[in-house]
Amino acid sequence: MELSKINQKSKTDAVMLMLLNISQQRFTEVLRMESYLSNQLVEVNQKNFAHFRETLDAFIKMDKLEIFLFLDVETFDKISKMLRPVVCSKFDNDLRLAVILIFLTKGVSQNAIALWSGISQPSISRILRQGFDDICEKFGETIKWPTAEQIAYQQDLTKNKIPSFGQIDGKLWYVNRPPGTGTLNMSYKSRFAFNSLFVVDNEARIIYIQLSKNGCHSDGQMFNAGPISKLLEKKQNFPPPIKHHEHFICDSFLLGDGGFALTPQLLVPFRQTELNPEKDMFNKHLSNQRVLVENLFGRITQKFRLFNRPLDLDMTQNQLAVIAASVIYNSQFGEPGTLPILTTNHVAPRESGKLFRQRLHEKL
């Protein structure tokens, strides 16, 4: 009898061990599948829920959605199609996207949205998690490195300016201290955050995003450790060298600030110790063009007020929220412009970033 009990206990332990050995990825997939079941999304106040539904439908019908959710109807429909449908017809794509946009643009808590919309707070949390996942899956279709024709078009927009095809800069996103991380997320501003790199073209369209798990990483460290340095070093999709300012021939390049190292593909300002009146004027030209990437951060934080306060989701969801907001921002743009690539005999001299910057500043 005791032997039978021991065998039964061994079988039970084996089953428990097998369950514990299920991979984290599979466990996440199971949770995600369950969260899409219709009984997982419920309303707790039918009157408030009906009013929320009627308000959303009225703004869409009147084509005044931008007043309500800071997004025009065309872009709203484009983002809505990114969401996977659920079984429950009451929670269609439009309603769930409205919840996501209210969370991002109003900057209010999930409890406040639940109270106003009549949807339970756990359902709000599931809608946000599912929505961020679905939108971020379309990241590669909305935010992508430009082609050679698109780079040539961006350079053509900089006539009488520094002929770059974009600007790069870092951005800190403040968070509540993640548990068990110590000071890994402590930024140089003495606040908990995670860092990011953004590259925008000359029309303020995002063409590259890189996120760091920690806030202690500098812009230069992220640049050197990420794929962006390899893209520039290999001249990924660069068109042939262009002729700019009469006989000045150069390859494509980005503009950055003093937080990055100077290379032929990444131009940064002259340092304070090198300045003279001519170099100071060059720095002003460079800063005037780099203002595009600074303005981008202002537009995102102004449009998506969630980022005006420390993010209080888990770190993965915080990062997905940033990417989702960037995808929504980029969805407002049309397709990037292009210029045909012409075969030329132009050959850019092989030189260091310092010599290239010196040669360029003499031509401006």
Q: Is residue 92 part of a domain?
A: yes
The CA-based angle 34-37-40, given to 5 degrees, is: 85
Quick: pLDDT tens for 227-273.
999 999 888 888 877 766 666 777 888 999 988 999 989 999 988 88
Q: Closest Cα partner for 256 from 270, 236, 238?
A: 270
Q: What is the pTM of this model?
A: 0.83
The CA-based angle 297-158-276, given to 5 degrees, is: 85
The CA distance from 166 to 131, in Å, is 30
Q: Where a domain ends, among 74, 109, 137?
A: 137
Q: Is residue 109 part of a domain?
A: yes
**Same domain? 153 vs 277:** yes
Structurally, the chain folds into a number of domains equal to: 2
**Same domain? 60 vs 79:** yes
* Domain housing 132: 36-137
The CA distance from 65 to 55, in Å, is 10
Q: Where a domain ends, among 137, 157, 174?
A: 137
Going by C-beta distance under 8 Å and a sequence separation of 6 or more, which residues neighbour residue 140?
A: none
Number of Cβ atoms within 10 Å of the Cβ of 129: 18
Q: What is the DSSP letter of 164?
A: -
**Same domain? 103 vs 189:** no
Q: Where a domain ends, among 107, 137, 167?
A: 137
**Same domain? 210 vs 127:** no
Q: Closest Cα partner for 106 from 57, 62, 68?
A: 68
Quick: pLDDT tens for 106-165.
999 999 999 999 999 999 999 999 999 999 999 989 999 999 899 888 888 887 788 889
**Same domain? 111 vs 256:** no
Question: Which positions of the chain have pLDDT values less than 70?
Answer: 1-41, 43, 243-247, 342-350, 364
Q: Is residue 288 part of a domain?
A: yes
Q: What is the pLDDT of residue 346?
A: 57
Q: Is residue 30 part of a domain?
A: no
Q: What is the pLDDT of residue 29?
A: 45
The CA distance from 254 to 164, in Å, is 5
**Same domain? 126 vs 179:** no
Q: Is 235 in contact with 264 (CB distance < 8 Å)?
A: no
**Same domain? 206 vs 303:** yes
Q: Is residue 123 part of a domain?
A: yes
Q: Is residue 234 part of a domain?
A: yes
Amino acid at 313: L
The CA distance from 228 to 224, in Å, is 8
**Same domain? 133 vs 209:** no
**Same domain? 91 vs 223:** no
**Same domain? 117 vs 223:** no
Q: Is residue 66 part of a domain?
A: yes
**Same domain? 177 vs 109:** no
Q: Is residue 206 part of a domain?
A: yes
**Same domain? 174 vs 291:** yes
